[in-house]
Amino acid sequence: MKVRLFGSSGCVDCMQAFVLLNKLQIAYKYIDGHDEDENVQNFCDEQNVDSFPHLQFLDNFENVIVDHIGPISEEEMTTYLKKYFPNY
């Protein structure tokens, strides 16, 4: 399982997602959606990232299984994990 978290350092809901991912010991890659680097912005555009937090749960082939946009609760997170990653 792989997780991408698109966010911003000034976003309260993003900080809550950080805390939750760490609490559940889920490895993730953070992408700062406000990074001005052209490659980062192009990647955000390709992934249709328009708001934060934006979580993507990926399979082993980097295909997006779940796109979750907006705040996420621990209950929602564990539901995704149990449904899509039974070995979690």
Write down the domain spans for the chain.
Answer: 2-84
Q: What contacts 48, CB < 8 A, 6 or more positions away? A: 67
Residue 53, preceding peptide bond in cis (omega within 30° of 0) = yes
Tokens of 63: 């295909």
Does pTM surpass 0.75? yes
Q: What's the pLDDT tens digit per position in 55-77?
A: 999 988 889 999 999 999 999 99
Q: What's the pLDDT tens digit per position in 29-60?
A: 999 999 999 999 999 999 999 999 999 999 88
Best CA proximity match to 5, nearest among 77, 75, 61 = 77
Per CATH, the homologous superfamily of domain 2-84 is Glutaredoxin (3.40.30.10)
